[in-house]
Structure 1
């Protein structure tokens, strides 16, 4: 099985990447080097993660050690919600490029279909969700910027050579159709939450019909969300009896089975790990295949359980009811 997806425009997106959300900046430089030594070529980043400078330090160390060439890497980043007005898009992208110490993105996404009031980098960076965290009652401040306007401004990054491919995160089919119809520019990649408890089969089918590659974040399900109160320990996919039985049959870990299920559907995955020993494990997905009955059994685990839902966490944590999937 190939270990890359061909993206519209001819790029090769590695099917397994390293997610950097919630990884401590203090350990990231060495972790990036270890990941590249282990064989990773796909690193997924974002302004909002607050650790792009640390990723950049790791990338430079790996390049200086001759572990790979820049052209061997696939570096993804994302436009944050407070930079959706067209006049802010390029400056936001250039800041991430400086922090990552690279000249271009292989892929640059709109992070959420959520436009918030601009917060200058001099005021706070990364800006996060609150407009003013020091306010008596801090809250998000949504603004009326059509997603198509932001998407059109993103096209200029490609024209300027700052991004080789452009994509969107957390968009549904209606939004994909809307921005494509308004701008005549189809996203090269859609990144969404995807794991056996949230299979999103119709969304993947639509994207594959339209030539949109798909990347699944949180491919192991609940673990990143339990400490945030956005999932419970009882929702642990890696303890699911079906996953455990299939893992035993292949002499693989439950995590490898969950990742393989997505990869075998033609979906790239970006599992997060802070543990060097897990890096090789998450890459070791191409020496076995899940049978058709095993794939069907995992498909049947779908609970439509979305852990990363602004319709829930924005109101609970950021003082604004902001559903985007309803």
Structure 2
């Protein structure tokens, strides 16, 4: 199969970021190596990672393999990782980033994000809880974490920096207190949660949105029987049939036409290949409006179990 050329957007600092990447959340260590190798072979150049996913060493092994076999050079790739909630103190940011770099086998990242605005108790496990299974928090301000990742840019450890799961007020607070501005905010985004207001807010500040769970995250660990399945929504299926495409194609094309970067996760070779077959058609304005109308504030990744954290981001309109 011919490798697909995936178009890029240009970030405010001049670096280019491919419009579709491979998400690696919940990709098991054994299967993620093959997934990343297959993705790079068929044209993906953007891989979205995070320390908390627990599989960066396997992602790194796949990257190394595809560089060694001549498929790509390091500079062809756009690799993102994220600072986890237990490392928000400024002194912990660089060591955490370096752990990701070591696991990924890289000298630098293309993009480093603060994974969530909430800090968890530091110097312990990644999901610190008390005897009642309640999360333990730190009160470290995410502004301190931001200062740490600005240092990472200065040290050449990452080219670009950004945010993930931040609301408009938290983004504005970063912008009001930063030396280096964020280039991306990565958030849940799909037709049930189309993020129109947040996209417009970020666009006005030269920040791109990356959509995670663009296909509705059907395999999220807390999914319940009877939860709506975005890819089986009859309205999405009808639009897919009209264009002779799959529901996944429609959901990804929808984001691309809005200028939103999408990072669908899959470990299945056929789906990985299929997910980038979205550059040979366009949705009509009418169909884009119809898909926009499916919005119902349908957030799948709400993290309600930490909603008492002072920096929990979902207690505001957007």
Q: Same fold (TM over 0.5)?
A: yes
- Which residue is 2:164 aligned to? 169
- Which residue is 1:130 aligned to? 128
Match of 1:259 among 252, 256, 260: 252
- Which residue is 1:304 aligned to? 297
More helix by share: 1
Deviations 1:152-200 (A, max 9, x none): 1110000000000000000011000001101243211110000000001
Superposed displacement of residue 314, structure 1:
3.6
State the alpha-carbon separation in 2 of the partners of residues 78 and 232 from structure 1: 31
Contact kept in structure 1, 2:34 and 2:267, CA below 8 Å: no
The DSSP-based 3-state class of the residue aligned with 2:112 is: strand
Which 4+ residue blocks in structure 1 deviate beyond 6 angstroms? 319-322
- Which residue is 2:242 aligned to? 249
How many correspondences in the alignment? 311
**Structure 1 spans left out of the alignment, 5+ residues:** 121-126
Contact kept in structure 2, 1:230 and 1:308, CA below 8 Å: no
The DSSP-based 3-state class of the residue aligned with 2:186 is: strand
State the alpha-carbon separation in 2 of the partners of residues 322 and 144 from structure 1: 9
- Which residue is 2:278 aligned to? 285
Contact kept in structure 1, 2:35 and 2:266, CA below 8 Å: no
Map of 1:23-42 to 2, 5 A cutoff? Answer: 23-42=27-46
Change (3 A) 1:2 1:42: closer
Superposed displacement of residue 278, structure 1:
0.6
Contact kept in structure 2, 1:222 and 1:232, CA below 8 Å: no
Across the aligned residues of Structure 1 and Structure 2, the Cα RMSD in angstroms comes to 1.8
Higher mean alpha-carbon deviation, 80-89 vs 216-225, is at 216-225
State the alpha-carbon separation in 2 of the partners of residues 239 and 61 from structure 1: 36
What TM-score do the two structures reach when normalised by structure 2?
A: 0.93
Superposed displacement of residue 137, structure 1:
3.1
State the alpha-carbon separation in 2 of the partners of residues 320 and 14 from structure 1: 34
Deviations 1:97-129 (A, max 9, x none): 000000000000000001112125xxxxxx322
State the alpha-carbon separation in 1 of the partners of residues 311 and 177 from structure 2: 24
**Structure 2 spans left out of the alignment, 5+ residues:** none
Q: Does 1:324 align with 2:313?
A: yes
What TM-score do the two structures reach when normalised by structure 1?
A: 0.91
